[in-house]
Amino acid sequence: MTNIWPIGGGKGGSGKSFLAGNLGIWLAKQGQRTLLVDADFGAANLHTMIGLPYQTKSLSDFLSKKVQTLEETVIETRIPNLFLISGAGNNLDTANMAYEQKMKTFRALSKLSYDFTLLDLGAGTSFNTIDFFLLSDSGIFVVTPEPTSIENMYRLIRAVYARKIRQLLKTHHFRTLVEETESRNKGAMVNNPEYLLSVIKELEPEKGKIVEQALRAFQFKLVLNQLRKQDNPQLGVLICRIIEKHLGLPLQFIGNISYDDLVHDAVCQKVPFLERYHHTQTAVDLENFCRHILGARSMAERSGAAEDVLEMAVDGRTQ
Amino acid sequence: MRPLVELTHYEMLDLPAAATPFEIRKAYKRALEVYGEDSMVIYSLFSAEERKEILVRLDEAFATLSNEKDRYEYDQSLIQKGVIEEGSEYRSLGKKGAAAGPAGSADTPSQPEKESPQGMENPVVKEILSGEDLTGLDLKRLRMEMGISLEQIAKWTKIRPGMLQSIEEDRFYDLPSRLHLKSFLKAYAQYFHLNPESIVSRYMKRVDGGKS
């Protein structure tokens, strides 16, 4: 299975590109061939995060058929083993990618062979953002200890899981499920995955079980970024427990990453934070985060369960 | 939100079935914070109705699990339904039949047995508690009457013996913040199956009076 890690958070400024960039550099230094994909169309700047100037070559070349294959858009970076597909220079057309274009990109992405493919996603919960989560059975949610960030994170997680359920079912099937859920929960948010799951479990226990198992097999992870001294260090653990308990969705807490003004300095100087400021607590936290992702990969390779269920379901899809 | 009926009282409080009364109290307090109106943890996740529903279930869970008899019956119903395994629950009632149970082991703090005087039925205790105020000395006499050592209470309440002594000797300057003191007094009262509210308010009346 291609080892794809979507990195999202729902809110801008939570540190998605910072984490993606630093994770990419760290993995490359461990000898892992790593591809960074800037999927924050319309606001792409992952190249800047890893110290590269504005890129003329980007994903839109592939979409506009200027180049034939996705490989041709890959840029070599100054760091050995680290590659980039830039999102820079993408016009509005890319930001509002059509369904066919999106599918084409997805197919091409999952065919690329890298040890790690990290997708830096944009803010918000538009389909063009959350659909990148459909490429993988893992993913990282980045949240900061602020109500605004937490609100967007919950919205994103629900949207991703609802989309996963949609992916697992045939189109007409899903429509029936949504209608049934709507009629039962008047005025409720029907894209709440926990509602969908409980309705399908009741209507078709067999199918419900498969969907539930597939959802349980996902390895979604939460990282709490920019934790300041006055913040509650338990926040991330508690959020994961609440999601498991009340939404019935698994989410693993990776850890906290301390806030440091030096991050701002590193971004301004366009230098990798881990190298320049390796003595800081934030660097220690970052390395723990990176190590966790490296370790999670081998786990995912061992258990192909999610993949099997997914493939089965996708085969059954009408489109 | 998943239907709350799918969660047991233990799951509501994030506790194992073998949780001690002290852990239950702590978990309840923690849960009230997590589900509180200003809690960041659940920000925007639940509707107002859902949150209210959760709080009702939490109170229900705490009320059941903090009452020995109710908890025993509840545990039995869970065992019957196969939700928890027999032997994994905390048995403060049925110790006779379960010598090897978790509550029987030497280092698990346990509440006094049924045969130890039930607070209010003992005439001496009644006399001690009949006054309007409640002094530290009253608490100490009560404890002596029950034949309980400071260490025994300390073990069960997890309050250190020195602190308990300060409470019993009315050393107001050594006492912690009002909030902590109140929770200590509550734990003390609960150990003896006394009404915590009455104990706390009568003791606090003197603390507050002494300061003004």
List the CATH number of the domain containing A268.
3.40.50.300
What's the confidence (pLDDT) of residue B117?
A: 41
Q: Nearest Cβ partner of B40 from A150, A192, A247?
A: A150
Residue at which a domain ends, from B104, B139, B170: B104
Q: Are A49 and A21 in contact (CB under 8 A)?
A: yes
- Helix intervals (H) in chain A: 16-29, 46-49, 59-63, 92-95, 99-111, 127-130, 147-168, 171-184, 193-203, 205-217, 235-242, 261-269, 273-276, 281-302, 305-315
Strand order in the sheet with A4-8: A74-76, A82-85, A34-39, A116-121, A4-8, A138-143, A219-227, A252-258
**Where residue B1 falls among pLDDT bands split at 50, 70, 90?**
confident
* Residue A172: inside a domain: no
What tens-digit pLDDT sequence spans chain A (319 residues)? 568 999 999 788 899 999 999 999 999 999 999 999 999 887 888 999 998 988 889 998 898 889 999 999 999 999 999 999 998 765 656 666 778 888 899 999 999 999 999 999 988 878 888 889 888 989 999 999 999 999 999 999 999 999 889 888 877 788 888 888 888 876 666 568 888 888 898 888 998 999 988 888 888 999 999 999 999 999 999 999 999 999 888 899 999 999 999 999 999 999 989 989 999 999 999 999 999 999 987 565 555 444 444 444 444 443 3
B43–A150: do the CB atoms touch at under 8 Å?
A: yes
pLDDT tens sequence across B26-55: 999 999 999 999 999 999 999 899 999 999
A117: β partners:
A4, A35
Q: What is the pTM of this model?
A: 0.73
DSSP H helical segments within A6-126, as ranges?
16-29, 46-49, 59-63, 92-95, 99-111
> By residue range, what is the domain housing residue B40?
4-104
Cβ proximity of A84 and A36 under 8 Å: yes
**A235 in reach of chain B (CB within 8 A):** yes
> Are A82 and A28 a contacting pair, CB within 8 Å?
yes
Domain encompassing residue A287 = 4-154+224-303
Residue B110 included in any domain: no
**Closest chain B residue by Cα to residue A145:** B40
Q: A247 to chain B: which residues are within 8 Å by CB?
A: 1-2
Same domain, B91 and B158: no
What's the pLDDT at B120? Answer: 57
**Residue B195 backbone phi and psi in degrees, to 5:** -70, 110
Average confidence score pLDDT of chain B: 82
Cβ contacts below 8 Å, chain A against chain B, sum to 43
Which pLDDT score is estimated for B210? 59
Most B CBs within 10 Å: which of A245, A249, A251, A253, as the mutation test of the B interface?
Answer: A245
Domain count, chain A: 1
Looking at the complex, report in whole angstroms how far the Cα of residue B45 sits from the nearest Cα belonging to chain A. 7
Closest residue of B to A152, CA-based? B44
- Taking the C-alpha atoms of residue A162 and residue B99, their distance in angstroms, rounded to an integer, is 50
Predicted-complex ipTM score: 0.83
**Rounded CA gap, B116 and B103, in Å?**
16
**Which of B49, B73, B104 is the endpoint of a domain?**
B104
Which residue in B has a C-alpha nearest to residue A143's C-alpha?
B41
- Measured in residues, chain A has a length of 319
Which residue type is seen at A85? I
pLDDT at A98 (0 to 100): 79
pLDDT score of B99: 38
Q: Which of B41, B46, B53, B58 to mutate to test the interface with A (most CBs of A within 10 A)?
A: B41
CA B112, CA B126: separation in Å to the nearest integer? 19
DSSP string, B132-147: SS--HHHHHHHHHHHT
For residues A60 and A11, the answer to whether their CB atoms sit within 8 Å is no
Closest CA to A144 of A25, A7, A10, A6: A10
- Residue B44: give its domain's CATH number: 1.10.287.110
The answer to whether B44 faces chain A, any CB pair under 8 Å, is: yes
In a domain? residue A146: yes
For chain B, the straight-line distance linking the first and the last C-alpha, in angstroms and rounded, comes to 49
Structural domains of chain B, count: 2
- Give the N- to C-terminal CA distance of chain A in Å, as an integer: 22
pLDDT at B115: 38
pLDDT score, position A226: 97
Type of residue found at A211: V
Q: pLDDT tens for residues B179-191?
A: 889 999 999 988 8
| Cβ contacts of A92 within 8 Å, gap of 6 or more | A42
**Minimal Cα distance from A197: which residue of B?**
B2
Q: CB distance from A175 to chain B under 8 Å?
A: no
A237 and chain B in contact, CB less than 8 A: no
Binary contact (B14, A241; C-beta < 8 A): yes
